[in-house]
Structure 1
Amino acid sequence: MPPIHITGINTPISPFALGTAFYRMDDSAACFELLDAYVAAGGTVIDSARSYGQSEDVLGAWFAVRPDARDQVLLITKCGHGPEWKLPERNFAAGVQKELATSLDILKTDVIDLYILHRDNQEMPVSTILEALQPAIDSGQVRALGASNWEYRRVIEANGYAEQHGLTGFAVVSNTLSLAQPAAAFYTGLVQADPIGERWHQETGISLLPWSSQARGFFAGIVTPEMRDDPSIAMPEQPTFTSRMLKVYGTDNNFARLERAKTLGEQKGGYTAIEVALAWLLHKPFPVIPVVGPRTVDELVSCRRASELSLAEDEIRWLEEGQCRTLIL
């Protein structure tokens, strides 16, 4: 795994980021337990967003009772998740300032290490977007910027504009990537790290912060091929999480990858398919910081096991393509 450095940030970066999208204040004790265990195990990257319900509230409460923790972690939060699944164009600069002020207050901190735009709006010039973000950098309230769910041509355009005009460009891209290849977007406006994007990350050394890095539990077996044949599950009147999972991940190719991940995990000494899938991502030839969302300490331990699993090139190729491996299974 290539060493990871994010321009503007000096915090050491752990192999994976802790996602907090589901955190709630009425479950804060369990959330605190996860946060404590993550930091105790050497975790340093915590991912949140203004649009993640009470995620920032829980983190702010945790920082209040763990004051030393703030300086130990790289804190990520996001803004710009508009009601139409894109950056809100109207009063954009003022909106960014308002969201940032709210996040700083709730998180009980005076600086966000990595501030990420949660969506793009391709009707807005990149110049307008970057110039609205620059005051947060200049004031010291934000150390680095990132883009989530941006097509790579737009990221390239934005970073080119930033370089030409003395502005701060995007130091991180947060698009989805996992061993399971999505056949569609889970929700409107979500963007995958495609092969063009992967090459760009390798050429530039800019880190990918992939969300849904374990395919929303696909490799834990939460959907099966048989479910595709039951219309009440696969095609209900109103979409459900399961029906979305089947639409996005329920392809023959992905179920074959799941079976190969199970087989390889057993051969490697008792790793689970979901651990193999995370290890696959950590072996990408560019800087990658997968966002994981464990709901228990045991699941957190599983993520750590995955970060310690070494995969050979032929094993990676076999996971992806099912081609011959030099090792006998």
Structure 2
Amino acid sequence: MNASALASRYSFPNIDKPVSALALGTAFYDEACKDQWFGILDAFLAAGGTLIDTGRIYGSSELVLGEWMQTRGVRDRVIVITKGGHGGEGALPASGLKELVATELTESLERLQTDRVDLYMLHRDNPDVPVEVIMDCLSSERSRGRICAYGVSNWTYDRVTVANAWARANGAPELAAVSNNISLAASAAPFYPGLVSVEATGQAWHVRTGTPLVAWSSQARGFFTGRYRPDMRDDVAATGDFFTKRMVEVYGSDANFERLRRATELGEREGGHSAVEIALAWVLHQPLPVIPIVGPHTVAELASCAGASSIALSAADVQHLDLRD
């Protein structure tokens, strides 16, 4: 990887730093394997990576990232996304939101060893909570100087549109980004309750507004590694752990296995790229401002992700991979 492997493509309002083409996901970072994660973070930064995604609910992730930034002295070189408001049932709490966000944000700042979060996102939505209450909460934290910009994750675009209308009417910044799912593999259902994937309406919204999509599970949780097979569908209960069962239920369609076959075939034809790399390149070639979150466990996997950002797919390739030819 060279220093331009993850060169910036987009920007966030109110954040005066380049936004790398990929975001580094750290959800699984734990202190027991800290040296491993530090190595990946070092390599990401060296390759031009700036955008790092974490969240309060991700165990020790914020602690590991905070220690890395402190020991390396690189806080001002990276853009930190962290998220709060997940709620015990995977939904934004219906009451006490302002106090909850204030408390969780304080804890995140302490763990990250910083005085501000570059991009703070609410991890989930709750349609029972009025949008204006949520936006007032986020705007207040920005006024306090504890966050530079704010966004939302797993929100429908009807709610996102209302949120930005509130911001314009009240002289507050609009959402700097939205974090929903997009990947080459189409999901039959949300992997967990409350998750939102980008459909045609959402894609059109991102194109129209220019607001970046920070895409989680952009590689479909490892579906394109080939470890999941069509025969696993015959007896989902016998496939093993919860994660494997859900992978088969959510992604194990005939259409997705055909997408996997086509990605594998195209990768072999175009210089020996893996299906994982081709699937990530497909996301990067979508006609909307998208920054995929990737979660490599090794520096080699990070290099593979970075390499995907330089793969050139034709319009015909993009259509072919998604079975639209």
Band of TM-score, shorter chain = over 0.9
Report the equivalent of 1:133: 138
Judge conservation of contact 2:219–2:276 (CA < 8 Å) in 1.
yes
Contact 1:18–1:293 (CA<8 Å) still a contact in 2? yes
Contact 1:19 1:47 in 2 (8 A): yes
Q: Does 1:112 align with 2:117?
A: yes
Unaligned runs of 5+ in 1: 324-329
Match of 2:294 in 1: 292
Deviation track 1:126-180 (CA, whole Å, cap 9, x = no partner) reads: 1111111112111221111111000110000111111111123311010010000
Report if aligned partners of 1:46, 1:75 keep a CA contact under 8 Å in 2: yes
**In structure 2, how many angstroms separate the alpha carbons of the residues matched to 1:74 and 1:3?**
14
Show the 5 A alignment for 1:267-282. Answer: 267-282=269-284
Matching residue of 2:152: 147
Question: For 1:163-221, what per-residue CA distance to the aligned partner results, in whole angstroms no more than 9, with x for missing partners?
Answer: 11112331101001000000001001000011100010001100000100000000001
| Distance apart, 1:322 and its partner CA | 5.7
Matched AA of 1:244 = R
What is aligned with 2:202? 197
Counterpart contact for 1:17–1:291, Cα < 8 Å = yes
Q: In the alignment, residue 47 of structure 1 is paired with which amino acid?
A: D
Distance 1:63 1:231, change over 3 A: closer
Preserved contact between residue 2 and residue 285 of structure 1 (Cα < 8 Å): no
Change (3 A) 1:76 1:251: same
- Equivalent-residue separation in structure 2 for 1:159 and 1:37 (angstroms): 36
Measured after TM superposition, the shift of residue 286 of structure 1 is 1.6
* Aligned residue in 2 for 1:32: 38
Unmatched 5+ stretches in structure 2: 1-6
Residues 84-128 of structure 1: per-residue CA shift (max 9 Å, x gap): 211112211011111111111110111111000000010010111
Give the superposition deviation at 1:232. Answer: 3.6
SS at match of 1:290: strand
Consecutive aligned runs of 4 or more in structure 1 exceeding 3 Å deviation: none
Deviation at 1:231, TM superposition (A): 4.2
SS at match of 1:289: strand
Maintained 8 Å contact 1:233/1:242 = no
- The aligned amino acid for 2:113 is K
- Give the 5 Å matches for 1:221-236: 221-234=226-239
> How far apart, in 2, do the equivalents of 1:313 and 1:45 lie?
28
Q: Residue 177 of structure 1 aligns with which residue?
A: 182
Separation in 2, partners of 1:142, 1:261 = 40
The alignment covers a number of residue pairs equal to 319
Cα 1:231–1:176 change in 2 (3 A) is: closer
Whichever residue aligns with residue 250 of structure 1, its letter is: G
| Alignment partner of 2:28 out of 6, 22, 25 | 22
Q: Distance in 2 between matches of 1:139 and 1:37?
A: 34
C-alpha RMSD of the superposition: 1.4
**Distance apart, 1:3 and its partner CA:** 3.7
Pair 1:2–1:193, CA change in 2 (3 A)? farther
Q: Residues of 2 paired with 1:162 and 1:42: CA distance? A: 32
Q: Secondary structure at the match of 2:215?
A: coil
Contact 1:260 1:322 in 2 (8 A): no
| Deviation sequence 1:246-273 (CA, Å, 0-9, x none) | 1110000000000000011111111000
Q: C-alpha separation between the residues in 1 aligned to 2:202 and 2:271?
A: 33
Distance in 2 (CA, whole Å) between partners of 1:191 and 1:233 is 28
Are the aligned partners of 2:183 and 2:279 in contact in 1 as well (CA < 8 Å)?
Answer: yes
Is the 8 Å Cα contact of residues 115 and 144 (structure 1) preserved in structure 2? yes
Could you tell me how far 1:51 is from its partner in structure 2?
0.5
1:159 aligned residue (146, 164, 173): 164
Match of 1:61 in 2: 67
Percent identity of equivalent pairs? 49
**What is the match of residue 3 of structure 2?**
none
Instruction: Indicate if the aligned counterparts of 1:149 and 1:190 stay in contact, CA closer than 8 A.
Output: yes
Asked if 1:12 is matched to 2:36, the reply is no
Match of 1:327 in 2: none
**Secondary structure of the residue that 1:171 maps to in structure 2?**
coil
Shift of 1:222: 2.0
Q: How does 1:24-103 map to 2 (within 5 A)?
A: 24-67=30-73, 69-103=74-108
